Amino acid sequence: MILGNIIGKVTTLNFTFQVNTTARKFQYVQVMHEQAGFILAQITEIIKDSDKTIANCNILGYREDNILRSLTFPLEPGTEVLDADDDLIHSTLGLDGKDAYIGKLQDKELKVYLDLNKLLTKHVNILAKSGSGKSYCTGIIIEELL
């Protein structure tokens, strides 16, 4: 579903688009990039004016050779912004581990799995605002380890 079109200044990290339908804060969106194909972004803020609604987005990137990549040049103003499809979210965020089920993405039916081998052989941080579920997430991971 087309949510709107990019307006204003665009960087390799973020962009703004005019919302033509309904959009929600933290919603995942996809935009076509001429070099990378579809890139994944997330709405970080929605601003309502008397005659229009604007959404600010942070670009999360795209997956290439199983590596999450950042853009090297910005998106084009006027490009359509679409509601992100589940396959793009799943592949870009790397939610395909099969070992530890930790829950579903908010507002989506996408199950989030972690690869315990990667989790236990690398450094781990669980970072978020107070009250957002860090302790709960840690408990779920420990349950899955057991």
Secondary structure (DSSP) of 29-63: EEEEETTTEEEEEEEEEEEE-SS-EEEEEEEEEEE
* Residue 45 pLDDT: 96
Q: What are phi and psi of 135, to 5 degrees?
A: -65, -40
Note the pTM of the prediction, 2 decimals.
0.84
Neighbouring CB atoms inside 10 A of 92's CB total 21
Q: What is the DSSP letter of 116?
A: H
Task: Find, among 92, 88, 90, 112, the residue nearest to 101 by Cα.
Answer: 112
* Residue 69 pLDDT: 93
* Residue 73 pLDDT: 92
CA distances from 29 to 44, 81, 118 (A): 11, 7, 27
* Residue 82 pLDDT: 96
Query: What are the mean pLDDT values of the chain's consecutive 10-residue runs (146 residues total)?
Result: 94 95 93 93 94 95 91 94 92 79 82 81 86 88 84
* Residue 97 pLDDT: 66
Q: What is the largest CA-CA distance in the chain?
A: 54
